[in-house]
Amino acid sequence: MHEASTARGPERFHGRVRAMSTLSRLVRACHPEPTVAVSGLVAALAGSVGASAWRVGLAFLSGQLSVGWSNDWFDAERDRAVGRADKPVVQGLPRSTVRSAALLAAAACVPLSLLMGTWAGLVHLLAVASAWSYNSRLKATALSFAPYLLSFALVPSIVTLGLPGHPWAPWWATGAGALLGVGAHGANVLPDLEDDEATGVRGAFHRLGRRWASAVSGLALVVATVLLAAGPGISGYGIAGIAVSVAVFGAGLVLGQRPGSRAPFLSVLVVAAVDIGLLLAGGASLA
């Protein structure tokens, strides 16, 4: 009995190690940085207009988890083909595990979305379905920007539809959201253009090429800055936001002329951060 118990000890230990390794890889497969950032920022936006921040945060977290996991599920074979060592499915995480996680998160997203209210929940589910359409099919087509444009355009209204009277967000917020989506699409694909094309993925920005993709992404975000600054009524921080965005965008274009420069990509990220700051600062104007 003692020997059998002793033998089971190492087995239990190794089983726990494997379980922890799987859990760690599963967390990384959900794209934790954008998942947490988007969920937290939209929850903060909801709080700024008087909506339930925790309900919005949970709904967006479940949706973002499903989108992140579905991305690695659908891309598993392509990631293995190009040797993406940073991807958990390439490191040994079973594709079936990622698929199950994505489907479970999507199932949880339905009741959590409806907790925000019927209209807010339905519009959020439409935004999540749009993101899934990108992962499953549209990312390799000339319409790759469309799911980003639609999903981000709906975000302000998802927040406001949970308020009394269920108002839609003003046009300037919807337009800025759509442009933020185009910029976010560029920021997402710019680092992986070559790997994507090697596996047959040729979305809208792949077809433009790195230089034009960077320019279009940055310009979309600069226009979003103008909408977010002027929509609620021009202010000092709005003018500062426009100035910073234009300066950073211009610097990215100039420095991006150097071969291998990451300046355009970094400029897109900086302008996106400015836009998010303006959106949060002007959140009360959405309602």
| pLDDT tens column, 176-231 | 999 989 988 988 887 777 777 777 788 988 888 878 888 898 899 899 999 999 88
Q: In this predicted structure, what is the pLDDT of residue 9? A: 54
Q: Name the burial class of residue 18, with classes exposed (0-12), middle (13-18) and buried (19+) by CB atoms within 10 angstroms of its CB.
A: exposed
Q: Rounded CA gap, 206 and 74, in Å?
A: 19
Q: In this predicted structure, what is the pLDDT of residue 109? A: 98
Q: In this predicted structure, what is the pLDDT of residue 17? A: 41
- Please answer whether residues 286 and 231 qualify as being in contact, where contact means their C-beta atoms are separated by less than 8 angstroms: no
Q: In this predicted structure, what is the pLDDT of residue 174? A: 94
In this prediction, the residues of the chain whose per-residue pLDDT falls under 50 are 7, 13-17
Question: Could you read off the pLDDT of 28-54 as tens digits, one per residue?
Answer: 999 898 899 899 989 999 998 999 999
What residue has token string 């959900």?
30
Q: Write down the H helix ranges in 161-257.
A: 171-189, 193-198, 204-208, 210-230, 236-255
- Please answer whether residues 256 and 263 qualify as being in contact, where contact means their C-beta atoms are separated by less than 8 angstroms: yes
Domain boundaries, the chain: 1-138, 170-287
Pick the CATH number of 170-287 from 1.20.120, 2.30.30, 1.10.10, 1.20.1070: 1.20.120
Q: In this predicted structure, what is the pLDDT of residue 255? A: 77
- Return the axis-axis angle of helices 32-49 and 263-281, rounded to nearest 10°: 30
- Which residues have a Cβ under 8 Å from the Cβ of 38 and sit 6 or more positions away? 60, 64
